[in-house]
Structure 1
Amino acid sequence: MSVGLETANILVLGKGDNLHQQVLASFPLCDVTEEDLTQNPLFSKLLASLTQHVDKTGLTVPLKTELDKAEQRLQSQKRQWLRSESLHRGLQEMIQEHCVRKHNTEVPPDQNMFYETMERCLRVTQCVRHLDPSSTTSQDQPLILGLTPQQVTQLMPSEKNVQRMRQALPRQLEKHLKDKCLSLLSYYQPEWENESEALKTNKLSHLSTLLDKEKKRTELLKEICRENTVLLQRQTQLYFSELIKCIQLLQTLILDHKLKIQTDLDRKKLVYFEGKCELVLQKIKTEMVEVQLDTYSPDTVSAHRKIREKLECELKACKAEKQAVELKLSSFEILGKAFEALAEEYSRLRQEIDMKNWALKELTQYDEK
């Protein structure tokens, strides 16, 4: 049953790329790309089902409702505090302006009494507030300088002066606030500063609406800026991902091209070095011929060539004779050690015969003389 509901929710959101776009729009703070959703369809379905239960910030619907209520209560408390704080600061500003004005010009006695009474009431009220125990704790706070709120309250001005101050306060406060609003209007629109009082008062009635529009416009621009920031981050991630793919492809192309070019280059280098080696050999032969021509005459070279040919013929004959002797010797070695004694005896007899022939030859030559 739950699977059917999740499937229905997914179908409501969309299919394929449309589903991915809506999931990304529902979770702008989630660092997920469309490629991640495509590679992980189950995770994409999970996010699609979560869009029915959570908002863009990741809060559940009940928690978001409670958070909105708490935010409304907080805003109400803030407005109350700001109202009282603005009133208090406005009264303090009035007192400060009166002190400055009193030092520069002559102030009427009734106006001076009004501001002194108001300042005294503010100070006493502030002291009483500090002396009161906190309403957020059940423990009693220690007294400051041993004073109680009742003792400080006795320092209030006379009731008559307080009544006069209260009667004149709304008019003076209204005048002060109006001057501040006109100053704000002049700051917001400097070209309206030279307008008449009635026209500025009329425009002042529309100042809150203008400021509210500016505030909404600013919030809209902030939201657009945040959306553009998220979009820029996603596009940056996509750009880097595509850039990495392009770099890898470029590296592959460079490697393949380099290997192909390297093979052709090696083959050309081999042909070049072979030709160069052949040229060096020819040059060496040429140098040898030139050395021979410088050293020997043509007749000497011809004679040396004939001598060389004759020596090579004799060397070839000697090698053939040596080979024949080695064959005979190998055939004699087959007979074993018994033939070795006969060979030695034969050799000794040959030497004796040669010696006797030589002696006979010498003797014959001596007789002829």
Structure 2
Amino acid sequence: MSFGSEITNTLLLGKDEILHQQVLASFPLCDVTEEDLTQNPLFCKLLASLTQYVDKTGLTVPVKTELDKAEQKLHSQIHQWLCSESLQRGLQEMIQDNCVRKHHTTVPPDQSMFFETMEKCLLLAHYVKQLDSSSTANWGQPAVLGLTPQNLMELTPIKLNVDRMKQGLSRKLEKHLKDKCLTLLSYLHPEWENDSEGLKVIKLPHSSSLLDKEKKKAESLKETWWENLIILQRQTQLYLSELTKCIQVLQTLILDHRIKMQTDLDHRKLDYLKEKCELVLQKIKTEMLEIQLETYTADTISAHQKIREKLESELKALTAEKQAIESKLSSFEILGKDFEGLANEYFRLRQEIEMKNWALKELTQYKNK
């Protein structure tokens, strides 16, 4: 039983996968994944049942039929408009070419009359269309300057000139369009420019397919360009972000290296300054010795050295005596204020004794005289 159930489950899973693929293929514009269909089997069955009523774009059969008819009607109207517009522009180009030709060469009178008549007819047709009250574009608007199409029709050129213009119009228009097509063919195939006119006319029907290919190629290149532009923008953003990270890492490395190197540089600079200071001191001593040698003789220097040694020894003795006296004074200060009074009294008595000794000495000298 278990083996049979496994086979049944396998078959069901295979059918579900096929159904999922059919639903996804029937609704390519629907943002649904195979996982969604697996998790929602009833929704999958609903979409599968809708496939016989709805096409790939999501439109029902009647709506699709009406849309196709509307598109066909629109294409036919666009085709009619393009034909009339092409004819109108071709006639305008012929008039412009004639105006340019008149400035460079002498135009025959009949040809000049032909183009003047055609230009007047085109202008009248244009303005009559503008003043036509039946046109939906001008419905409900007042007539310009009170003019009507009948007023403009009175300005129609002479019937004889109009008839002559109509007789030669088709031939001249055909020649103009033919020259334009041959120019376009030469532009598309420069290597065919030296071919004969008959050969160019034979090759001319293939230019439409060539233009379609070039158009499709241009559209594909444009799509590729947009895709490459998007990829380039993403790569530029990634490059800038990575470059910013690299700059931050580089700044960190520079700061760390600068801190480490700064300590070494400071030590070296300190050693340099020490050596320079010692050199300056040695130079000062040398200068002092040179000044002494230039100022004093050898005997004077030896005498000064002896005097210096004697003064230094006396200074040492006086310093030792001073220290001894200061130690005695410090020991006396310990005794307090009572001893200070006795010391002052002793000092006063010593001064009196010295004064009396001096007076006695003076008296003795006076008596001896």
TM over 0.5: yes
* Higher RCO, Cα 8 Å, sep 6+: 1
The 1:178/1:363 distance shift into structure 2, 3 A limit, reads closer
Candidates 97, 108, 126, aligned match of 1:104: 108
Once the 2 structures are TM-superposed, how far is the Cα of residue 194 of structure 1 from its aligned partner?
Answer: 5.0
Among all aligned residue pairs of Structure 1 and Structure 2, give the percentage whose two residues are the same amino acid.
65
Segment drifting more, 342-351 vs 163-172: 163-172
The alignment covers a number of residue pairs equal to 306
Partner deviation per Cα, 1:259-310 (whole Å, 9 max, x = no partner)? 3333222212211221222222223333333444444444544444344333
Specify the code of the residue in structure 1 equivalent to 2:204: L
Shift of 1:203: 1.0
Contact 2:130 2:138 in 1 (8 A): no
The range that moved more, 192-201 or 161-170, is: 161-170
TM-score normalized with structure 2 length: 0.60
Structure 1 distance, partners of 2:242, 2:78, is: 50
Decide which moves more: 288-297 or 216-225: 288-297
- How is 1:121-160 mapped onto 2 (pairs within 5 angstroms)? 125-133=125-133, 135-136=135-136, 140-149=140-149
The one-letter code sitting in structure 1 at the alignment partner of 2:227 is: E
Change (3 A) 1:334 1:83: same
Q: Is the 8 A contact 1:131 1:144 kept in 2?
A: yes
AA matched with 1:286: T
**What is the alpha-carbon distance in structure 2 between the residues aligned to residue 252 and residue 261 of structure 1?**
14
Question: Superposition RMSD on alpha carbons, in Å?
Answer: 5.1
Question: What is aligned with 1:240?
Answer: 240
SS at match of 1:140: coil
Give the partner amino acid of 2:237.
Q
d(CA) in 1 for partners of 2:321 and 2:337?
A: 25
Q: Which residue of 2 aligns with 1:305?
A: 305
- 1:248 and 1:256 mapped to 2: Cα distance? 12
Show the 5 A alignment for 1:285-296: 285-296=285-296
The corresponding residue for 1:20 is none
2: CA distance, partners of 1:170 / 1:215: 31
**Distance verdict in 2 for CA 1:276–1:149, change over 3 Å:** closer
The residue correspondences of 1:130-279 to structure 2 (distance < 5 A) are 130-133=130-133, 135-136=135-136, 140-149=140-149, 177-193=177-193, 195-279=195-279
1:67-82 aligned at under 5 Å gives the runs 78-82=78-82
Instruction: State the AA in 2 paired with 1:322.
Output: K
Paired residues of 1:134 and 1:141 also in contact (CA < 8 A)? no
Unaligned runs of 5+ in 2: 1-30, 37-56, 59-66
Aligned equivalents of 1:359 and 1:122: distance in 2?
158
> Counterpart of 1:24?
none
Residue 22 of structure 2 corresponds to none
Tell me: CA distance 1:296–1:135, structure 2 relative to 1, closer, same or farther (3 Å): same
The amino acid across from 2:254 in the alignment is: I
> In the aligned structure 2, how far is the partner of 1:137 from the partner of 1:315?
129
What one-letter code is carried by the residue in structure 2 that aligns with 1:268? R
- Deviations, residues 60-114 of structure 1 (Å, cap 9, x unaligned): x99xxxxx9999987765443221111234456678889989952768xxxx99x
TM-score, normalization by structure 1: 0.60
Go from structure 1 to structure 2 and tell me whether the alpha carbon gap of 1:317 and 1:119 turns closer, same or farther (over 3 Å shift): closer
In 2: Cα distance, 1:116 partner to 1:292 partner: 123
CA distance in structure 1 between the partners assigned to 2:153 and 2:147 by the alignment: 11
Partner Cα distance (1:96, 1:332) in 2: 136
Gapped regions of structure 1 (runs ≥ 5): 1-6, 13-60, 63-67
> CA separation in 2, counterparts of 1:83 and 1:269?
92
Q: Which moved more, 1:159-168 or 1:201-210?
A: 159-168
